[in-house]
């Protein structure tokens, strides 16, 4: 069975602070894919990043960066110099390659509030 755990239910920071959202996953598949999605207050789901299990390079995109560590089964997301527009619910998700390769398993999400 696959599982994604986002232990932080809610995080509140002040603008310009750095913030890290944690994601820990469980899977028996040797090939798998990890995703982060953003859900702003308007409600739509916005794709942020995809990482496959063979690529452990960290990625940076502007103020966003992702740290993938297979040894600890974690795929953490850091926002540098947070802004009010970053306020949203963030979901980590996992896609396997075996019998469950058709679907995404989502974590419960982390509500990030960035205060001015």
Closest alpha carbon to 29 in 108, 101, 102, 96: 96
What mask, x for binding another protein by CB under 8 A, covers residues 46 to 75?
A: -x--x-x-----------------------
44 binds another protein (CB under 8 A): yes
14 binds another protein (CB under 8 A): no
Closest alpha carbon to 31 in 60, 65, 2: 2
12 binds another protein (CB under 8 A): no
Instruction: Tell me what percent of the chain is helix, strand and coil, each rounded to the nearest 5.
Output: 5, 50, 45
43 binds another protein (CB under 8 A): yes
45 binds another protein (CB under 8 A): yes
Tokens of 82: 């947070």
Helix (H, G, I), strand (E, B) or coil at 84: helix
Supply the minimum distance, in Å, between the C-beta of residue 37 and another protein.
Answer: 8
Stretch touching another protein by CB under 8 A, among 20-28, 43-51, 60-68, 74-82:
43-51
Q: CA-to-CA distance for 4 and 73, rounded, in angstroms?
A: 10
Spatial contact of 115 and 13, defined as CB atoms under 8 Å apart: yes
Binding residues (CB under 8 A) for another protein: these are 9, 32-33, 35, 37, 43-45, 47, 50, 52, 91, 95, 97, 101-104, 106-109
């Amino acid at each position: 069975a696959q599982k994604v755990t986002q232990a932080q239910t809610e995080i509140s920071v002040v603008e310009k602070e750095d913030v890290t959202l944690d994601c820990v996953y469980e899977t028996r598949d040797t090939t798998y894919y990890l995703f982060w999605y953003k859900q702003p207050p308007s409600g739509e789901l916005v794709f942020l990043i995809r990482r496959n299990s063979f690529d452990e390079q960290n990625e940076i995109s502007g103020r966003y960066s992702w740290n993938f560590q297979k040894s600890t089964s974690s795929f953490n997301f850091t926002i540098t110099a947070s802004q009010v527009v970053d306020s949203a619910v963030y979901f980590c998700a996992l896609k396997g390659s075996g019998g469950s390769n058709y679907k995404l398993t989502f974590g419960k999400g982390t509500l990030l509030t960035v205060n001015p």
